[in-house]
């Protein structure tokens, strides 16, 4: 099933700027607000969920823009957040998004490998060592961790950036750490992943699935997240469908179809999403 020709995709593509960006700024992964233009990040995330890849012209244009920013040929628009090392955070955001769509992109890979050195050191003892992390960070980036996204790598950006580039042993240790972390993955899910939500039809479950979808890019996630299999399968109905409920409509992960005027359209979207996740995790 393809959602690339639906109204949600059309609205986003029509709003794309000539340079490949959206809106007046790049950064924010918050839920879209009606009447406000999408940021580039919001648009990219939504298009990816709707099935767009680097082969699609809107994505290619955006990736070209972001790659030019990484090379210093263009400047990323948006506000400057004082709580972060903003130049470094900018590289993190851009590299993560470029690598999501173009895993072999040279500038993005170069930045990813800098983070590999930090994360490998942080877990080299067999478990996460915060002192080792801070020391490796300081050595790699020539400054101490400053803000929340430098002090904590368990977020949307780092966990996308590190896929396919860290060693198997570090991947295993890092996934164990993230899955059992009380606040889990910033920008995605704020509860521990080791306990699925108690109520299936909820926004919490939609966000939990988003965390599983993100981690599914790691080869070892198939085994690490196998405990979710019974929970997912316990919530399928007699017709083989899943329903996350009307409140899961957040304009980010759902809806996929043009309308949720009836429950069947909603259930079809939810079922498509769950089946895609089960395929990724092979459970």
Residues 56 and 4 sit within 8 Å (Cβ to Cβ): yes
- Quote the strand ranges of 136-178, DSSP E: none
Q: Which pair of tokens denotes residue 87?
A: 């130049």
Residues 185 and 156 sit within 8 Å (Cβ to Cβ): yes
Is the C-alpha dihedral spanning 142, 91, 39, 246 positive or negative?
negative
Residues 40 and 78 sit within 8 Å (Cβ to Cβ): no
Q: What is the per-residue pLDDT for 34?
A: 82
> From CA 245, how far away is CA 227, in angstroms rounded?
23
Q: What is the per-residue pLDDT for 196?
A: 97
Q: What is the per-residue pLDDT for 81?
A: 67
Low-confidence ranges of the chain (pLDDT < 70): 78-82
Q: What is the per-residue pLDDT for 282?
A: 86
Is the C-alpha dihedral spanning 129, 131, 135, 138 positive or negative?
positive
pTM for the predicted model, two decimal places = 0.95
End-to-end CA distance of the chain: 21
Q: What is the per-residue pLDDT for 79?
A: 67
């Amino acid at each position: 099933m393809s959602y690339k020709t639906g109204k949600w995709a059309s609205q986003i593509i029509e709003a794309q700027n000539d340079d490949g960006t959206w809106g007046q700024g790049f950064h924010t992964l918050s839920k879209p607000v009606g009447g406000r233009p999408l940021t580039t990040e919001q648009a990219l995330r939504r298009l990816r969920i709707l099935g767009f890849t680097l082969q699609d012209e809107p994505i290619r244009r955006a990736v070209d823009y972001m790659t030019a920013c990484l090379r210093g040929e263009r400047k990323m628009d948006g506000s400057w957040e004082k709580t972060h090392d903003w130049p470094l955070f900018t590289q993190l955001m851009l590299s993560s998004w470029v690598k999501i769509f173009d895993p072999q992109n040279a500038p993005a890979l170069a930045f990813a490998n800098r983070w590999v050195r930090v994360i490998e050191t942080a877990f080299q003892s067999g478990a996460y060592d915060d002192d080792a992390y801070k020391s490796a960070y300081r050595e790699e980036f020539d400054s101490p961790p400053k803000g929340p996204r430098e002090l904590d790598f368990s977020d949307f950006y780092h966990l996308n950036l590190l896929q396919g580039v860290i060693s198997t042993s570090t991947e295993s240790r890092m996934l164990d750490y993230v899955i059992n972390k009380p606040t889990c993955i910033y920008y995605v899910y704020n509860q521990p992943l080791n306990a699925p939500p108690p109520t299936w039809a909820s926004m919490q479950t939609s966000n939990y699935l988003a965390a599983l979808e993100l981690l599914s890019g790691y080869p070892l996630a198939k085994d690490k997240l196998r405990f979710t299999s019974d929970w997912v399968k316990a919530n399928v109905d007699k017709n083989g469908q899943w329903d996350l409920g009307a409140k899961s409509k957040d304009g980010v992960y759902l809806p996929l179809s043009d309308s949720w005027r009836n429950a069947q359209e909603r259930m079809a979207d939810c079922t498509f999403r769950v089946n895609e996740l089960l395929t990724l995790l092979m459970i």
